[in-house]
Amino acid sequence: MKPDYEPLFEDLTLRSGVRLKNRLAMAPMTTMSANPDDSVSDAEIRYYSRRSGGVGMVITACAYVSSNGKGFPGEISVHDDTYIPGLKRLAAAIKEKGAKAVLQIFHGGRMSPAEFVPDGDVVSASEVPPAQGVGLGTMKSPRPLANEEIEGVIREFGEATRRAVEAGFDGVEIHGANGYLLQQFFSPYTNRREDRWGGSVENRLRFPLAIVDEVKRTVQAHAGAPFLVGYRFSPEEPETPGITMAETFVLIDALADKGLDYLHVSLNDFWAAPRRGTEDTRSRMEIIQDRVVAKVPVMGVGAIRTPDEAAKALRTGVSLIAIGRELVVDPDWAEKTMEGREAEIATTLTKDDQQKLVVPDPLWQTILHVPGWFPLAE
């Protein structure tokens, strides 16, 4: 192994006591490959198992916690105890290969297509419709959640965490990014409420922080072994009014005081600069890392393709690097890096690679038919 890559393979013990064998994580990526009843499919288990040998942690595609929270076709569910057996098989398959298994838990809110929600009753913080064409289904204007429904969703995140514990996962990642329900409550663009859940930035923070508290309370009550809790967030929004870097600082300051195991910054480009809300011209990742340093580990992601890029990103001080599409293209990315075989890492796909790469049909068809998403070679 090249000396520059050695820091990528140092172990890390998180606040919860969960020990990661290295600093690499498989990023959460939607597979759209659950069974018709949204239980975990055999194809998904094979897909994750194939990619769990080299990284220290595998974060699954998001699992919806409420019956009205499904955001994608073929998304796995964790909203009922009947899903525990399939989730147990998934956790075991990941852990068998040496990685820690982390279930990402989520509610789509206004980003849930109407046909995936009982009676088409799409909900959010406020009645702000999503842009057309943003989802994989029929998008409609949401209904604002009533106070008792908000409290119910908070409890459902706790119940999802209990199921993750019972299924044998090593942790959960709360999905508060990418415009889904938690972000919808925090954002001044999607939250126009005038009650205790809206208005000031402190009120808009109330819902995501209540979910963190409920998840941690559930872990304390049900986990007999170390069990991690991470939180994923998006640092800015393009809309006006929307989340700025200044409001992001309020969010991460509050999260950093919650005793979380890590903060996962959702970015398309690790080195992207801020839009507004700060005079700092460094990348968002560097600004965030410096702000929460010594309080909570940070996981970086975004167009990190090569070991050199991963090593450079780690040198910013972040604790963890998430690798996404690269692990689809080459499931042995981490092993090849560790063994000094980085020149052998595949960088492109061909249309004939599905079986070799153990990719489920729905995900493979999406890869082939979304131009530019993956590097396809003839």
Phi then psi for residue 206, to 5 deg, are: -60, -40
Inter-residue contact 66 to 107 (CB < 8 Å): yes
Q: How far apart are CA 117 and CA 324, in angstroms?
A: 28
| Joined tokens for residue 115 | 């046909």
Q: How far apart are CA 224 and CA 102, in angstroms?
A: 16
| Joined tokens for residue 301 | 């992601």
Residues contacting 179, CB < 8 A, separation 6+:
111, 130, 190, 234, 237
| Joined tokens for residue 290 | 């410096």
Residues contacting 124, CB < 8 A, separation 6+:
109, 110, 142, 143, 144, 145, 181, 184, 190
Inter-residue contact 80 to 166 (CB < 8 Å): no
Looking at 180, 189, 231, 262, which residue is catalytic? 180
Q: How far apart are CA 47 and CA 273, in angstroms?
A: 34
Q: Count how many Cα atoms sit within 13 Å of the Cα of residue 287 in the half-sphere of its side chain.
A: 21
Encoded amino acid at 215, one letter:
V
Dihedral sign for Cα atoms in the order 296, 265, 124, 61: negative
Look up 48 and say whether it is catalytic: no
Closest CA to 364 of 347, 349, 343, 345: 349
- Length of the chain in terms of residues written: 378
Active site residues: 180
